[in-house]
Amino acid sequence: MTSLKLCLPDAITPEQFLAEYWQKKPLLIKQGLPQLIGMFEPDDILSLALDEEASARLITQRSVSDLKSIPIKNGKADSSNGNYNDDDNSDNQTSTSQWQLKKSPLTEADFDNLPEQWTVLVQNLEQWSPELGQLWQALDFIPQWQRDDIMVSYAPKGGSVGKHYDDYDVFLAQGYGQRRWQLGKFCDEQTEFVADEPIRIFDDMGEIIFDEILEAGDVLYVPPKLSHFGVAQDDCMTFSFGCRRPNVMQVIDSLADVATNDSELFIPMILPQAPQASGELQAESIDAITAQLLQLLQSERGADIIRQAVCEVVSKRQYDALVPEDTMNTDELIQALAQGATLQADYSNRLLYNQTAKGATLYANGQRLDGLDNYATALLIRLADGENINADDIADIDPDDLMEWLENGWIWVDYPE
């Protein structure tokens, strides 16, 4: 794939976007990703949602009149209507749950007798379509380590997933049909969700600050915690390019994992001792332990531990990797490159590097890559930065190493058109 134009309005530079919009306010980017137009048809997504390896969800929304006809058994809707079931209790009640959620694996039967309003979501779509993953290049003003995945949402006319907000940044790219988007207030931990629903939705979006219909190719950037509500105007598909940041618990867990490999950290601390009651743990002792922990974290050793822990967290995949059914052998790979194919980073995986005074360290899918020579390191850095690698670039590398990268899913082969 040739280099893509950045997904920004002509009048806004990456520096302006990051300073004025990123995590602050929304931005409509007309025809920000025209490459999406015609890339997928609705049947492609519906078929994929039925794949046993897909991470998919089916969300249905029933009207009040629909709910009156759904019998309740022990407080839950009867599964014969596509909902949950429990022991029989009373049939003279009606369901109070407007939304229903079914997670993968999905079957064809799940799509029988659907209400008018429904949506199917499929996560991590770039693992099924490397070509789609390459569209991340249009968002290269966002560091690769902050990319999460591309989720697709297909819905017929009227379909929606309700009024909600996300804790992450998202670029909502229209790929097929039209969807009307409304944006409202910023939410926080005090925002009240509708009770007893299987998805996080709320009623009050506050003042509506944006209300427009997106056409195929249009992109809407929505910052974290900004309430939004999308409704399909016809058969439509929206591709959500989600971004992520590690949370504190992820970093703490990773710190513990990395520190486990340092045997010196298992040596008991030296702590000052003062007279005290035998059953008391004095504040002074806790302060001394805290001081030694902070001293470690602020030392060169601590910096190395933190650096590795953060790199491992942000390079981890959120979803299990697909195991390819067929892979080429080394000779076929070399032949393909000789005939004009190129190697590119596979955006369904996480390949990144960290540069220090000691040199660059590479990470892939949560693991530090040790034992790389300088040439392999330089090549992987170029791939991580989104460059294409051709036959001339691999003259000094063992072809078996390339095969290992391919089998690990770090790279994929792009054939000339």
Residues 376 and 393 placed together within one structural domain of the fold: yes
Q: Judge whether 295 lies within some domain.
A: yes
- d(Cα 405, Cα 185) in Å, to the nearest integer? 45
Q: What are phi and psi of 378, to 5 degrees?
A: -65, -35
pLDDT tier at 325, thresholds 50, 70, 90? low
Residues 212 and 264 placed together within one structural domain of the fold: no
Would you state the pLDDT for residue 270? 86
Does 134 score more than 50 pLDDT?
yes
CATH number of the domain to which 369 belongs: 3.40.366.30
- d(Cα 252, Cα 183) in Å, to the nearest integer? 34
- d(Cα 272, Cα 292) in Å, to the nearest integer? 12
Q: How many domains does the chain have?
A: 3
Nearest to 106 by CA among 98, 97, 114: 114
> For all residues of the chain together, what is the average pLDDT?
87
Residues 207 and 119 placed together within one structural domain of the fold: yes
Would you state the pLDDT for residue 97? 56
Q: Residues 136-149: what's their mean pLDDT? A: 92
Would you state the pLDDT for residue 276? 79
Q: What are phi and psi of 291, to 5 degrees?
A: -60, -40
DSSP tag of 393: G
Does 324 score more than 80 pLDDT?
no
Domain residues for the domain of 349 are 330-414
Does 322 score more than 80 pLDDT?
no
Q: Judge whether 1 lies within some domain.
A: no
- Bridge partners of 369, per DSSP, are 362
Residues 212 and 252 placed together within one structural domain of the fold: no
Whether 164 contacts 202, CB under 8 Å: yes
Burial of 345 (0-12, 13-18, 19+ CB in 10 A): buried
pLDDT tier at 74, thresholds 50, 70, 90? very low
Strand runs labelled E in 89-146 = 99-103, 117-122
Residues 285 and 344 placed together within one structural domain of the fold: no
pLDDT tier at 328, thresholds 50, 70, 90? confident
Q: Judge whether 9 lies within some domain.
A: no
Residues 33 and 134 placed together within one structural domain of the fold: yes
Whether 113 contacts 227, CB under 8 Å: no
Would you state the pLDDT for residue 64? 54
Residues 192 and 294 placed together within one structural domain of the fold: no
Residues 41 and 54 placed together within one structural domain of the fold: yes
Q: Judge whether 343 lies within some domain.
A: yes
Does 174 score more than 90 pLDDT?
yes
pLDDT digits (tens, 9 = 90+) for 352-365: 999 998 899 999 99
Cα distance between the two ends of the chain: 9
Q: Residues 404-412: what's their mean pLDDT? A: 88
Would you state the pLDDT for residue 82? 35
Question: What's the whole-model pTM score?
Answer: 0.84
pLDDT tier at 70, thresholds 50, 70, 90? very low
- Bridge partners of 118, per DSSP, are 60
Tell me the CA distances in angstroms from 101 to 119, 150, 179, 198, 350, one per residue in order. Answer: 10, 20, 21, 6, 30
Q: Judge whether 394 lies within some domain.
A: yes
Residues 231 and 163 placed together within one structural domain of the fold: yes
- Containing 337, the helix (H) or strand (E) segment is helix 330-338
Does 96 score more than 60 pLDDT?
no
- d(Cα 124, Cα 149) in Å, to the nearest integer? 5
pLDDT digits (tens, 9 = 90+) for 281-309: 888 889 999 999 999 999 999 999 999 99
Residues 139 and 39 placed together within one structural domain of the fold: yes
Residues 209 and 347 placed together within one structural domain of the fold: no
Other beta carbons less than 10 A from residue 143's beta carbon? 11
CATH number of the domain to which 211 belongs: 2.60.120.650
Q: Helix/strand/coil (H, E, C) string of 340-374?
A: CCEEEECCCCCEEEEEECCEEEEEECCEEECCCCH
Q: Judge whether 85 lies within some domain.
A: no
pLDDT tier at 88, thresholds 50, 70, 90? very low
pLDDT digits (tens, 9 = 90+) for 2-58: 578 999 999 999 999 999 999 999 999 999 999 999 999 999 999 999 999 999 999
Radius of gyration of the chain (CA): 26
Whether 315 contacts 365, CB under 8 Å: yes
Would you state the pLDDT for residue 66? 52
Q: Judge whether 186 lies within some domain.
A: yes
Does 256 score more than 80 pLDDT?
yes
Q: Judge whether 80 lies within some domain.
A: no
Would you state the pLDDT for residue 139? 95
Q: Residues 371-399, buried b or exposed e (16+ Cβ, 10 A)?
A: eeeeebbebbbebbebbbbebebbeebee
Whether 152 contacts 43, CB under 8 Å: no
Nearest to 205 by CA among 193, 223, 221, 219: 193
Residues 128 and 211 placed together within one structural domain of the fold: yes
Would you state the pLDDT for residue 91? 40
